[in-house]
Amino acid sequence: MEKESPLRPATPDPRGSTPAAPPGPVEVRRSARRRTTVSARREGDRTVVLIPDRMSRAEEERWVAVMLERLAAKDGRRRPGDAELTERATELSARFLAGKARPASVRWVTNQNSRWGSCTPAEGTIRLSHRLQGMPEYVVDYVLLHELAHLLVPGHGPRFWQLLDAYPRTERARGYLEGVAAAERLPHPPEPAD
């Protein structure tokens, strides 16, 4: 999602802190059509900052820092840690699985790039891919509930899908994830001039 800011001088941070490093490379795109806004968004592992073409290099540097800080703050609000993930798993199990799924651990991992989550029923462990961080809450809830259901039913048979029928946003979440997966496989078209 794009975050836009009207052009105005950035106010220095009184604490003197510097913004957190972005998760990947930063790309600055200048546009002759863009006049009064600066925006930033995540595109895969990149952060793209869109600025007016007339902006000086010093203004560019200042606005890139401001927008990276804003995105980092927004990401921080959206990305629960392992403790919050475990708490959410307990809530979802109680609400949709009658509290029967009791994981021993629930955590984010960075080594799952081809799946959204995994579960080891024998150990009671659930791992969610870091790629879910920043996605809508209902999508993360669906993946978490999917893995919780695996604690009760290891395979993907009818009994497994009956458990997930209780979650009202199952189809919407699956569609969202399918869209993300499809977009990751598509070549990125050239950016039109802004």
- The predicted-structure confidence for 48-81, as pLDDT tens digits, reads as follows 899 999 989 988 888 888 888 888 777 655 557 7
- The predicted-structure confidence for 24-56, as pLDDT tens digits, reads as follows 688 899 998 888 789 888 887 788 899 999 989
What is the SS3 string spanning the chain? CCEEEECCCCCCCCCCCCCCCCCCCEEEEEECCCCCEEEEEEECCEEEEEEECCCCHHHHHHHHHHHHHHHHHHHHHHCCCHHHHHHHHHHHHHHHCCCCCCCCEEEEECCCCCCCEEEECCCCEEEEEHHHCCCCHHHHHHHHHHHHHHHHCCCCCHHHHHHHCCCCCHHHHHHHHHHHHHHHHCCCCCCCCC
- Predicted TM-score (pTM) of the model is 0.58
Question: How much of the chain exceeds pLDDT 90, in percent?
Answer: 43
Q: How confident is the model at residue 186 (pLDDT cuts 50, 70, 90)?
A: low
pLDDT of residue 18 exceeding 70: no
Contacts of 27 (CB under 8 A, 6+ apart): 43, 46, 47, 48, 49
Which residue would you say has higher pLDDT here, 7 or 137?
Answer: 137
Q: How confident is the model at residue 134 (pLDDT cuts 50, 70, 90)?
A: confident
Q: How confident is the model at residue 9 (pLDDT cuts 50, 70, 90)?
A: very low
C-alpha to C-alpha distances, 147 to 26, 31, 129, 134, nearest whole angstrom: 34, 44, 12, 19
Q: How confident is the model at residue 188 (pLDDT cuts 50, 70, 90)?
A: low
- Given a contact cutoff of 8 angstroms between Cβ atoms, the answer to whether 71 and 3 are in contact is yes
